[in-house]
Chain A
Amino acid sequence: MNLETILFYLLSLMTLFSAGKVITSRNPVHAALYLVLAFFSTAGIWMLLEAEFLALTLVLVYVGAVMVLFLFVVMMLDINFEQLRQGFWRWFPFAAVLGAILAVEMIEVLGNAQLPAATAQAAPHAANYSNTKELGRLIYTDYVYVFELAAVLLLVAMVAAIALTLRHRQGTKKQDQSEQVRVRRNDRVRLVKIAASGKVAATEIKQG
C-alpha cells in the first residue's frame, strides 16, 4: 500500500462522510460547509489522477465562488426547523421511489460502461506535458460546438434568472450611481459675482 493509495482512501472516506453529512445535517449552514469539504476532497482525488487543472478549477469555481454565494443565501434564511421536518414521512414514499430510480439508472450506466480494467497503468507523461494545454486543445478544437453550446446555455439560464428576480421597488431612497457620476459642476454650482466692498454692492442693489 503506497502513499497514493492511502491518500485515495482517506480522501474518498472524507468525501463520503461529508456528502452524507450534507443531507443529514440539521443546520443548513453546516450542510453547506460540509458540501465545501466534499468538493475539496473530490479535488484532492482529481489531483491524485494528475488532473491538476480540473482539481484547481473545482476549488476555484465551486469552493471559491459558487459555495460562497450558496452560503450567502443560506445564512440569511430564517428557517423554522419544526416546520421543515413536518411532512417528512408523508413525502417519504415518493422520495424513495425517486431514489430507487436514480440508483437503478446509475447501476445500469456504470455496469455497462466500457471502463478500462482497474489494474491498467496509464503511461507516464513526458516532463513538459501540460494537462491544461491538452484540455484547452480538446475543448477548443474537437469539441468546440458542444462547448459553445454549453456556454450559451449557461448564459441563457443566467439572463433568465436575473430577469425573473429583477424588481424595481418604488419609493426606496437608493442612490443612483450613474446619475451621481454624470453630475457636472455646472449642474450644481452657480458662481455669482459679488463686489468686494459693501458700499458698492448697496448702490448696485439700489440701481438694480
Chain B
Amino acid sequence: MEAQVLQILQFIFDQFGAWNAVWGIIQPAWPVIWTLLKIVAIVAPIMIGVAYLTLAERKILAWMQVRIGPNRVGYWGVLQPLADGVKLLFKELIVPIRANKYLFAFAPVLVLAPALAAWAVVPFENGMVLANVNAGLLFILAMTSLGVYGVIIAGWASNSKYAFLGALRSAAQMVSYELPMGFALVCVLMAAQSMNLTDIVNGQQGNAGFLNWYLIPLFPMFVIYLISGVAETNRAPFDLAEGESEIVAGFHVEYSGMGFALFFLGEYANMILIAGLTSLFFLGGWLNPFHGLGIIGAYTDMIPGMLWLLSKMVFILFLFLWFRATFPRYRYDQLMRLGWKILIPFTLLWVIVVAAWMQTPYWVWSSVQG
C-alpha cells in the first residue's frame, strides 16, 4: 500500500520534473506523513458516516412513525446533514455566566477525541489497521471509558442544574455499564486467546461460514454487549443523561453552535465505533458469512471483506435506530437494576461457562493458538 502511494506521488511530481527535490524534503518526515495520511483515511470516512447517520436516523425514524422525514434540502434530503452543519457553524457560541470557560470549551473535545482515538486499533481487513497492537482490546476499553469525562465536565462546567443532573446520571450509568461490556469482552478474548483485534477476527475463520463466528457460542454476550453499547453511547432507551422530558437536554443543555455539534459528532462516532466493534468481536468482522457453504460461499467470497464489515456495521446501526423508535425510556432505577442485578451476574456466569466449555471437546471454535 505504502509503495503504491509513493509510486503515484512520484508519477504526479515527475510530470513537473520535481520528484527528486520534493522527495529530498519530505523523506525524513515520510513515516510521520504516511501515518497522518492513514489517520485522515480513517477519520474522513467516519465523519462522513456520522453526517449521513444523522440523516439515516431521521429518515428511518420517520418511516417507522409513518412520516416522510427530511426531504427539502437536496434530492430526497441528501444535503440535509450539510445544511445542519452549516447552520450550527454560524450559530452564536454562548458561554453561561459563571461557567468555567476553559473546561466548558474543552468538554466537547473530550467527548469526540476518545471516540476517534479508539479507531487506531480497529482493523478493516486482514492487516489493514493503523496500529496492530497486541493489547488492542484493552486499548479500546480504555478509550471508551474516557468518553464519560467529556459528559461530566460539560455538566459541571455549565454551572446549571439540569446539566449537572445529566452529568451525574451519565457518570453513574457509564461506569455501571462498562462492567458488563468488559466481561462480555473477557469471554471474547478467552475464546480467541488473544487481545489483538486482527487475531480475534481470524479466530472466527473456518469452513462453516457464520457458524464459526463467536456469535454462536457467545450469543448471550452479544446481546449484552449490544445493550451495554446502547447504554454507553447514551442512546434511547438509555438516554437518561439527556432525558428531555425530565432534565431538558441534560449535560449539553447550555451548549450552542459548534460545541453542541461536537457532542453530537461524538455520540454518533461512538455509535459507529460500537457497531464496528460488535461486528469484529461477534460477527466475524470482514469474514464472509457463507464462506465454505457450497456454491453460495464460492460466489460470495468474491465480495471484498471491507464490504462485509460495512454491511454488518450498517445492520448494527440500524438496530440502534430501531431501538430508539421502539422502546420507551427506562426509569433511572430500572436502568441500574438491569445493569447491576441482571447483566453483570449473567456475564460473570457466562465467563465461567465459557471457561468450562473450552476445556471440553465440545468447543469447536478455533482460536489463534490452537
Which residues of A come within 8 Å of B, CB atoms?
A: 29, 33, 36, 52-53, 56-57, 59-60, 63-65, 68-69, 71-72, 75-76, 130-132, 175, 177
Contacts and interface: CB of A to CB of B under 8 A. Distances in A.
Contacts of A33: 103, 153
Given A72-B168, A75-B164, A177-B334, A63 B135 contact: no
B135 A29 contact: no
A64 B333 CA distance: 22
A36 B149 contact: yes
A64 B133 contact: no
Interface stretch (B6-14, B61-69, B138-146, B267-275): B138-146
A132 B135 contact: yes
B152 interface: yes
Given A131-B134, A177-B334, 18 more contacts: A36-B149, A52-B133, A52-B138, A53-B135, A56-B135, A56-B139, A56-B141, A59-B142, A63-B142, A64-B142, A64-B178, A68-B148, A68-B149, A68-B171, A72-B172, A75-B168, A175-B331, A177-B337
A52 B337 CA distance: 34
Contact of B134 (A29, A52, A64, A177): A52
Contacts of B146: 59, 63-64
B333 A175 contact: yes
A64 B145 contact: yes
B203 to A, nearest CB: 15
Nearest first, the 7 A-B pairs at minimum CB distance are A64-B145, A59-B142, A56-B138, A60-B142, A56-B142, A52-B135, A177-B337
A55 B331 CA distance: 36
B358 to A, nearest CB: 16
A1 B225 CA distance: 45
Interface string B160-190: 0000100110011011001000000000000
B141 A60 contact: yes
B152 A71 contact: yes
7 contacts: A52-B135, A63-B142, A64-B146, A68-B152, A69-B171, A72-B171, A75-B164
B287 interface: no
Chain A at the B interface: SS class: helix
Interface string B123-158: 000000000011100110110011011001100100
Contacts of A69: 171, 175
A71 B146 CA distance: 13
Nearest to B138: A56
Nearest to A65: B175
Nearest to B148: A68
A64 B148 contact: yes
Contacts of A36: 149
Contacts of B122: none
A200 to B, nearest CB: 41
A60 B138 contact: yes
A63 to B, nearest CB: 7
Contacts of A63: 142, 145-146
B61 to A, nearest CB: 30
A130 B134 contact: yes
B309 interface: no
Contact of A59 (B103, B145, B333, B337): B145
A132 B199 CA distance: 15
Contact of A53 (B138, B175, B337): B138
A29 B156 contact: yes
A16 B246 CA distance: 43
Given A56-B142, A60-B142, A68-B175, A131 B135 contact: yes
A132 B138 CA distance: 10
Given A71-B171, A177-B334, A65 B145 contact: yes
A75 B171 CA distance: 12
Contact of A177 (B164, B195, B333): B333
Nearest to B338: A177
A71 to B, nearest CB: 6
A33 B103 CA distance: 10
A76 to B, nearest CB: 8
B135 A65 contact: no
Contacts of B135: 52-53, 56, 131-132
A140 to B, nearest CB: 13
Contacts of A76: 168
Contacts of B337: 177
A115 B212 CA distance: 50
Contacts of B139: 56
A53 B195 CA distance: 10
B131 to A, nearest CB: 11
